[in-house]
A and B are shown apart, each in its own frame.
Chain A
Amino acid sequence: VSDLTSLQSTALEAVAQRLGVTSMQAVLAWLLARSPNLLLIPGATSVAQLEEHVAATELMLGPAELEELDRIAGIEGAG
Chain B
Amino acid sequence: MTTTSEITGRFPLGDRAVNRMGFGGMKLTGRRLMGPPADPEAALAVLRRAVELGVDHIDTSDNFGPRVVNELIHEALHPYPEDLVIVTKVGAHRASDGAWAEALAPAELRQAVQDNLDSLELDVLDVVNLRMPGLAEPVERSLAEPFEALAEMQQEGLIRHLGVCHVTSDQDRRGAEHRATGLRAEPLQPDPPRGRSAHRRPRPARRRVHGAGRDLLHRILPP
Contacts and interface: CB of A to CB of B under 8 A. Distances in A.
Contact of A39 (B1, B13, B53, B54): B13
B46 A44 contact: yes
A40 interface: yes
A72 B168 CA distance: 25
A50 to B, nearest CB: 5
Contacts, number: 92
Interface string A12-39: 0000000000000000110011001111
B7 A43 contact: no
A57 B50 contact: no
B20 A38 contact: yes
Interface of B: 1-4, 6-9, 11, 13, 18-28, 37, 39, 42-43, 45-46, 49-50, 53-55, 57-59, 217, 219
A61 interface: yes
Interface in A25-79: 28-29, 32-33, 36-47, 49-51, 53-54, 56-63, 66
